[in-house]
Amino acid sequence: MADSPVFEHAYYIGSYISGILYGVDLVLYFLAVRQLMRRRVARKSYLFYLLFSTALTLLVTVDISVNAVWGEIMWINARGQPGGVPAFVDTQLSSWYQALGSSSAVGLTLLSDALLIHRLFVIYKGSVYIIVFPVLVYIAAAALAILELVTSFTPGGFFFGTSSVNFGVPYYSMTIGLNVLVTSLICFQLLSLSHQVREVLGEQNARLYTGAIAILVESAAPYTLIGIVFLIPYARSSPVGAAVGQIWAKFTCLAPQAIIFRIVSDQAWCRDTMTQFRTADAARRACRRQESSAVELTTHVRHDLDADSCAGLSSYDVKRGTKFSTSTSGCSASDIV
């Protein structure tokens, strides 16, 4: 390692922030599990999301555990050995447990990207054409990920080794490029539909589906942005990448966990969300028209009844209480009650 102090600082900062993000991951996971347990009717899709979320949690646990153990050995056990921490970093970057950590990070990335492509498919109402290119990029990135993992088992192959970077840079470039593409398409679709949703649901209720937070979560925008930040130091073999890489790895779990929580809470977009909104809006408009017609009918009936009552009373009064007679002096009326 060319600059061990910088690497150590970056690794420490990344580990510290990763611990905080790992806590957020766990909170989201258990909230999603509690939400699923409260449901009386279990769907197969909910079971899938439960297993998917559990797999994400297990992989991120392996990743953060490996980083913690490696940091402990580096700063405590290896400090008194010949060469100290710099020698440990140079020789142990490709250890078996670091390779395990790399595998878990790649697994998180593949699962997260697969979920993003699925959400893209759903938000675009099941359009196959919209996911053709992302799927091809995903397959190519998965192939490069396998090559990157194989080279990480060789000496000096992890993270900043020459052979690893040869496969790692195109892999991460392709993966993060895929994230940028999918995130942009999801944001565009949600923004395009926001006006229609506001018309149907109103400004306040529409925020649940097209508000700023909803768009950020559905598109996994933070995950994509941090990936872009990570790619720059990684491609330059900068030790700073040790910090950003750990943070980005936690967002590969945090972003899909947030999406899954919205799905199991019935707050996420589904394939026929807009159709449901429009159907509900049409039903509300029909009810309002019926209510309006009923009010108008009631008003007319009351008016007719009042008119008939007045006419009936006048006729009754004439027959019962008024008598008309004719005299030489003209017409006169006298009460006979």
DSSP string computed for 263-301: HHTT-S--TTHHHHHHHHHHHHHHHHHHHHHHHHHHHHH
Answer yes or no: is pLDDT of 303 > 70: no
Q: What does each C-alpha distance from 198 to 92, 140, 195 come to in angstroms? A: 56, 39, 5
* CA–CA gap between residue 57 and residue 257 (Å, rounded): 9
* CA–CA gap between residue 200 and residue 306 (Å, rounded): 41
Report the candidate in 179, 201, 192 with the shortest Cα–Cα distance to residue 125: 192
C-alpha of 42 from chain center: 21
| Residue 274 pLDDT | 60
- 185-189 CB contacts, 8 Å cutoff, 24+ apart: 185/120, 185/124, 185/130, 186/116, 186/119, 186/120, 186/123, 186/215, 186/218, 186/219, 187/215, 187/219, 187/221, 189/123, 189/124
Report the candidate in 36, 90, 45, 99 with the shortest Cα–Cα distance to residue 67: 99
pLDDT digits over 81-109, tens only?
Answer: 777 777 777 777 667 777 788 889 999 99
pLDDT digits over 23-37, tens only?
Answer: 999 999 999 999 888
| Residue 337 pLDDT | 34
Q: What does each C-alpha distance from 279 to 49, 201, 274, 276, 306 come to in angstroms? A: 28, 12, 8, 5, 40
Q: What share of the chain is helix, strand, coil (3-state, %, to 5)?
A: 80, 5, 15
C-alpha of 65 from chain center: 27
Lowest-pLDDT range, 56-65, 175-184, 299-308? 299-308
Mean pLDDT value of segment 251-279: 80
* CA–CA gap between residue 261 and residue 50 (Å, rounded): 10
**Residue 202 DSSP SS3:** coil
* CA–CA gap between residue 167 and residue 206 (Å, rounded): 44
Mean pLDDT value of segment 13-32: 94
The overall average pLDDT reported for the chain is: 78
pLDDT band at 326 (very low <50, low <70, confident <90, very high): very low
Mean pLDDT value of segment 148-174: 67
Answer yes or no: is pLDDT of 302 > 80: no
Residue 206: CB atoms within 10 Å:
20
**Residue 235 DSSP SS3:** helix
Core vs surface per residue 179-201: b (16+ CB within 10 A) or e: bebbbebbeebbeebbeebbebb
**Residue 234 DSSP SS3:** helix
